[in-house]
Amino acid sequence: MDTLLQLALANLVSPMVLFFVLGVAAGWLKSDLAIPEPISKGLALYLMLAIGFKGGVELEANGLGGTVVAAMALALALSFSMPLLAYALLRAATRLDVPNAAAVAAHYGSVSVVTFVAATGFLGYRAVPYEGYLVAMLALMETPAIVTGLLLARRSKTAGTTKPQAPLFSKELAREVFLSGSVVLLGGSLAIGWITGAKGMAVMAPGIVDPFKAVLAVFLLDMGLLVGRRLQDFRTVGWPVVAFGLYMPLIGATIGLVAAHAIGLSLGGITLVAVLAASASYIVVPAAMRVSLPQANPAIYVPLSLAITFPFNLIAGIPLYHAAAKWIASM
Amino acid sequence: MTQLYRKKKIEIVVEAARARAIIEMIEAVGAKGYTIVPDVSGRGNRGVRDEAHLSDVFRNMLIIVIAAEEIANRIIEQLQPLLKDYAGIVVISDVEVIRDEHF
């Protein structure tokens, strides 16, 4: 346990986490520090482009082997099935009604791009290699959970009504989900990295390799500000739900660790799959839920995934999952 | 003196997630145009709504439509079901315009 504590402390003093903490403190104290919205959106786009491109290049170098296919299948399976578990837990342990439980469940089957990027930063900081193609898992896990969440909400709705149902996947939702900026940019830069390979990397490297961690630190400062301003929303969410926001990542991470080990990923890869399974969406899924499940309250699911699960994973989760991955990889 | 024409002005403050559906409806009932203020903030029965960030979940928009009374009535009729479960404010007023053929 000594090493785990050391790892957690070492994570705390990385510039990425410290800038995040600075942002949380400034936001909480209502400082007027703010990163203009177009810039923070630009930073997010840069991070997705960089990580997608690197993943594509890695995919080109490794080829589509059995492990790659297994990882992609695992991504789909996790994203489709984890909302079922989350929903069961929420209905048993909290007072959330059906639409809200279904909406929250969808968030926990989907993933947080920033948490994943921060985890790659954590591994890079420690020079732990990982399978770059796992970024394709990230892209694949964003949306299946939305379908499961909507099915959960609908299943219990049909009991009382005789009204003909609207199609589950409306045109509006499809646009929101498949053409959402993050999905397009992640998938697109992955494809470009895959097509151009090492030559493409030589062109892009000065822009996307060295500055990556510094840009991530600036972006995390901004995320911190956002989280800090939302900290007061805890009260409206309620303690059983807050607790869910802390134990659900641990359950997800455990499932991710075991599954990633089973398909034969490296230490870094196991860590990243655990992070993917532990993280909750706060960009793509809230937008999709607002369009398709308006009965669910965004003042519950946004603070829960953004102000509770995200900081938890960033500060405690990533080093913890990495330590657990070390343990499971050494078995 | 310039001739003035009586029209109805409908102002809709609505969360961004619903704006697209409302704009499609406005076009479908035959309004010739609309104006959008993409980012407005304030306080209402859902608390302060000013978090225009990352996803558009807490962003509000202002849609302004000026139309003949008959079309305005159709818009108002169809707005009600579209706003169910969404944050929204709808205000209707009588206005005068100078270029009749634009509305």
* Cα torsion angle, A46, A176, A187, A298, sign: positive
Residue of A nearest to B52 (CA): A37
Give yes or no for A44 touching B (CB within 8 A). yes
Q: What does the pLDDT read at residue A154? A: 85
Per-residue pLDDT of chain B (103 residues; tens, 9 = 90+): 889 999 999 999 998 889 989 999 999 999 999 999 988 888 776 666 655 456 678 888 999 999 999 999 999 999 999 998 888 899 999 999 999 888 8
Q: How far apart are the C-alpha atoms of B73 and A106, rounded to whole Å?
A: 39
Q: B86: helix, coil or strand?
A: coil
- Spell out the alpha helix ranges (H) of chain B: 16-28, 69-82
Q: For the segment A267-304, what is each residue's pLDDT rounded down to a tens digit?
A: 999 999 999 999 999 888 988 898 889 899 888 898 89
Give yes or no for B54 touching A (CB within 8 A). yes
Domain boundary assignment for chain A: 2-24+35-155+169-329
Mark yes or no for CB contact B47/A299 under 8 Å. yes
Q: For the segment B80-103, what is each residue's pLDDT rounded down to a tens digit?
A: 999 988 888 999 999 999 998 888
A76 within 8 A of A110, measured Cβ to Cβ = no
**Cα dist from A309 to A162, A303, B45, B85, whole Å:** 38, 9, 27, 26
Give yes or no for A288 touching B (CB within 8 A). no
Domain-located, residue B23 = yes
Q: How large is the average pLDDT for residues A249-261? A: 97
Whichever domain contains B72, its CATH number is 3.30.70.120
What's the pTM?
0.85
Q: What does the pLDDT read at residue A160? A: 47
Give yes or no for B39 touching A (CB within 8 A). no
Mark yes or no for CB contact A291/B17 under 8 Å. yes
Burial class (CB in 10 A: 0-12, 13-18, 19+), B79: middle
Selection from A107, A72, A23 nearest residue A305 by Cα: A107
Q: How large is the average pLDDT for residues A165-174? A: 70
Return mean pLDDT, chain A.
88
* Neighbouring-strand partners of residue B13: B62, B89
Give yes or no for A294 touching B (CB within 8 A). yes
Overall domain count for chain B: 1
Domain-located, residue B41 = no
Tell me the ipTM for this assembly: 0.76
- What distance lies between CA A246 and its chain's CA centroid? 14
State the count of interchain CB pairs (< 8 A) between A and B.
Answer: 39
Mark yes or no for CB contact A302/B47 under 8 Å. no
Contacts of A171 in chain B (CB under 8 A): none
Q: Which CATH number fits domain A2-24+35-155+169-329: 3.30.420.40, 3.30.200.20, 3.90.25.10, 1.20.1530.20?
A: 1.20.1530.20
Pick from B56, B85, B86: CB nearest A287: B56
What percent of chain A stands above pLDDT 70? Answer: 94
